[in-house]
Amino acid sequence: MYSQAQGRYTVENFNPAMNMVFLHAGRLPHDAMHEPVPSNIAERLDLLTELSVALGTGHAADVLLDRILRVAKDMTHADGGTLYRPSADGRSMCFHISLNDTLGLRQGGVGGSPIALAPLPLFDAGGQPDLSSVVAYAANRRESVNIEDVYRADGFNFSGMRAFDSQFGYRSQSFLTVPMLDHEGELVGVLQLINARAPDGAVQPFSHTDQRFIEALAAQAAVALTKQQLIGQLEGLLEAIVNLINIGIDEKSPYTGRHCQFVPELTMLLAEAAHATDSGPLADFRMDDGDRKELRLAGLLHDCGKITTPVHVVDKATKLETIFDRVHLVDTRFEVLLRDAEIAALRDRCVAGADRAAIDDRLASEQARLRADRDFLRRANVGGEGMSPDDQERVRRIAARRWTGPDGIERDFLDADEVLNLTVRFGTLTDEERRIINNHIVVTIRMLESLPWPKHLRKVPEYAGGHHERMDGKGYPRGLTRDQMSVPARVMAIADIFEALTACDRPYKKGKTLSESLDILGRFALNGHIDPDLFDIFVRRKVYLGFARANLAPWQLDAVDESAIPGYVP
C-alpha cells in the first residue's frame, strides 16, 4: 500500500507470521508509477553511471567494493552501511566493509581497520536456511528487505544491533538490505544500508526509489565482481595448466623440472634489473604488471616442448646410454675376451713341452691390454668438453677387435652405433640426438602458438621460443638476430644459459662455479651469442649473485673478480 501522507511506500507484502515489513527485489507495487520522483534523481543517475564506468575499469576487488558501498551510501543519504561477502564454504556471510559517518567508523576494505566480528551463519544447526537475521534472510531468499524502524519490527533477531546501539550510544532505525546476485543468480554479497537521512538530518525510512536504485547498483556490482572472479579463475586455471605441464616434465625428468622452475626466477631478476636501469642502451626498457605476468608465464613454459623429447635423450648421462647404459654390455664383452684369453692359455699349457712361463706372460700382457682398453672406454663413455682425435682413433681400433658372441658368430667388438656414440667429441649427444633435443624448441613454439592467447599474453610464444636464438643469427630454430628479438626474449636466453651452466644436478655434467660461469657468459657476450648490454646489467646489478646465493651450492660461490670477466668493463 502507499501512504500519501508520508509520500513513500511502507508495505509491499506484509507477513503476519513474522510481523515484518519488507520489499521484494524485482517486484514493483501496482502504484509504483505514482511515487513522487526525488528531486535528486539526476544526481543519482550520475552516481550510478559513474559507478558503472568505474566497475568496468578492472580495479582490484577491494577498491571496487569500497566504491560500491560509498556510492550506495551517497545515493540514499545513508548514515552507515555494511558490505558482506560469502565465506569460502558458502555457509556464512562475513563482514567485509563497514562504515558509519556519525560514529566515525571505517572498518575493512581499503585502508580501514580490521573487522573482528564473527560471520553471520546462513544455516541453522539442522542445516536449514537461517532466516533469523536480516542479512541471512536476504542472502537465503535472494530478496531485498526494507525496514522502517527495527525497534518496531518483529520477526528478525536484532540482538546484535541492539547491543551495538547500547555500546556506542547509537540509534539504529531504518534498514535497507539488498542481495548482490550474479548472472546465474548466485550470491556474491549483501549490501546493507542504515538510517537514511532527510535534508534536515532526521532519520527517515528508505524509499522505494532508494531501494530500486540500490538494487540496480547491486546488480551492476555483482556482474563486475563476477567478471573479476571469472578472470581470476581463468588466470588461476592457466597457471594450474602450466604447473600441470611442468609436473609432467618433472616426473619425466627431475633435472628439466628444476630448470623450468629456476629459469623464470632468474629471468624476472634480470628483467627487473633492466627495468630499473635509467642509463645506457636499455634505459627506455620498462615493464608493467601485465608485462611481468606475460614474461613469467613464458619462462615457466619455455621448455614445455621437452615433454615430447625421449627421456633417454634429454637426460642422457653417458655416451652409450639409451634406456640403459650400454657400457655394461661392453664390459661383458671384455669379460668374454678375458676368459677366452685365459682358456687359450690353459689349452696351450696342456701341450707337451709347452713353455708355461712364456704362456703366462702372454696371458698377463693380453689381459692387461684388455683391462686398459676397458678402462679407457669407461672414461670415454663419460661426456666431456673435448675428446681428442687420438682418443677417437683409439675407440675405432678397439672397435675393430674381433670377438665371438653367444650365437657363435664372430663380429667386431663395437658396432657402428657404439663407435658413433663413444667418439662424440663434446658432451654425450650424437648429432642426431642433438637435433632431437633442439627440436624441443620447435615443439614449444608449435604448442604455444596453437593456444588462443588473450591480448595481454600474446607475446608468450615469442618470449618462450627465443631462448636458443643468438644475437649473431646463428641460433635456432629461426636464426633470429638481436634486432629481430625483443628484450624479454634476450633476457630469457641469458637466464637459460646461466642456469644450465651452474646446475649441479645434471647427470651428464658437473655444475660450474660462479667465476667459471661468468667467464663463459662473458665470452658469449663477445662472440655474438648473448646480448652484451643485458650481460653488463647482469653483472653490474649483481643479478648473478642474488640468484646464486639463493639457489647454488656453497662450493659454487667462489670469489668473482668482475674486472677479469671477458666483455665486461667495471
Tens digit of pLDDT for each residue in 121-178? 999 988 999 999 999 999 999 999 999 999 988 888 888 888 889 999 999 999 999 9
Q: How far apart are CA 245 and CA 480, in angstroms?
A: 27
In 3-state terms, what secondary structure has residue 224?
helix
- Confidence class of residue 66 from pLDDT cuts 50, 70 and 90? confident
CB of 421 closer than 8 Å to CB of 408: no
CB of 294 closer than 8 Å to CB of 460: yes
pLDDT (0 to 100) of residue 261: 84
As separate numbers, helices (DSSP H) first and strands (DSSP E) second, the chain gives: 18, 14
In 3-state terms, what secondary structure has residue 503?
coil
20 pLDDT exceeds 80? no
Burial track 308-322 (b if 16+ CB lie within 10 A, e otherwise): ebeeebbbbbbbbbe
30 pLDDT exceeds 90? no
pLDDT (0 to 100) of residue 488: 96
pLDDT (0 to 100) of residue 43: 66
Mean pLDDT of 348-364: 87
Tens digit of pLDDT for each residue in 302-316? 988 888 878 777 677
pLDDT (0 to 100) of residue 257: 59
pLDDT (0 to 100) of residue 10: 32
Mean pLDDT of 471-498: 95
Beta bridge partners of 98: 82, 107
Tens digit of pLDDT for each residue in 195-242? 999 989 999 999 998 999 899 888 888 887 888 788 888 888 888 888
Q: How far apart are CA 257 and CA 46, in angstroms?
A: 54
Q: How far apart are CA 8 and CA 35, in angstroms?
A: 7
| 255 vs 435: which has the higher pLDDT | 435
State the angle between helix axes of 514-526 and 532-540 in degrees (0 to 180), rounded to the nearest 10: 150
Flag the least confident range among 32-46, 100-114, 502-516.
Answer: 32-46
Phi, psi of 197 (to 5 degrees): -110, 135
Phi, psi of 190 (to 5 degrees): -135, 130
Q: How far apart are CA 524 and CA 567, in angstroms?
A: 9
Q: How many CA atoms lie within 13 A of 378 on its CB side?
A: 10
State the DSSP string of 164-219. Answer: HHHHHT-----EEEEEEE-TTS-EEEEEEEEEEE-TTS-EEPPPHHHHHHHHHHHH
User: What is the CA angle 224-226-228, rounded to 5?
Assistant: 70
417 pLDDT exceeds 50? yes
Average pLDDT across the chain, whole number? 84
What domains lie within the chain, and their CATH numbers? 2-230 (3.30.450.40), 253-314+432-564 (1.10.3210.10), 327-428 (no CATH)
